[in-house]
Amino acid sequence: MFLNDYILILIGLLMLILGVLIGVAFLTLLERKVLGYIQIRKGPNKLGFIGILQPFRDAIKLFTKEQTYPLFSNYLVYYFSPIFSFFLSLLI
């Protein structure tokens, strides 16, 4: 009985995450369309019907990018420096 509850919670969370990701993708498309109209150009209409597939193409491009790691550096400083600079910018 408890396993079924956990599976339902997991399915609900996955559906929520998927819905948020799709919503963000289409809000990005809307933002690009509005910026295109402001700049008097067509906007993102290269992929699919009126650019509907453009956010999904951007997501695939993001996930297939290769992450580079510095070989001869301190990994602790490398990973925590963006967080540290973000906190510094909040203090000022």
Mean pLDDT for each consecutive 10-residue tract of the chain (92 residues)?
82 90 83 82 66 74 75 80 89 78
This prediction has a pTM of 0.49
Q: What is the pLDDT of residue 46?
A: 63
Do 34 and 44 touch, CB atoms closer than 8 A? no
Cα 14 to Cα 18, 27, 37, 58, 76: the distances in Å are 6, 20, 35, 21, 32
Please enumerate in sequence order all residues whose Cβ is within 8 A of that of 19, keeping only pairs 6 or more positions apart, or say none: none
Residue 59's Cβ-count burial label (10 Å; 0-12, 13-18, 19+) is middle
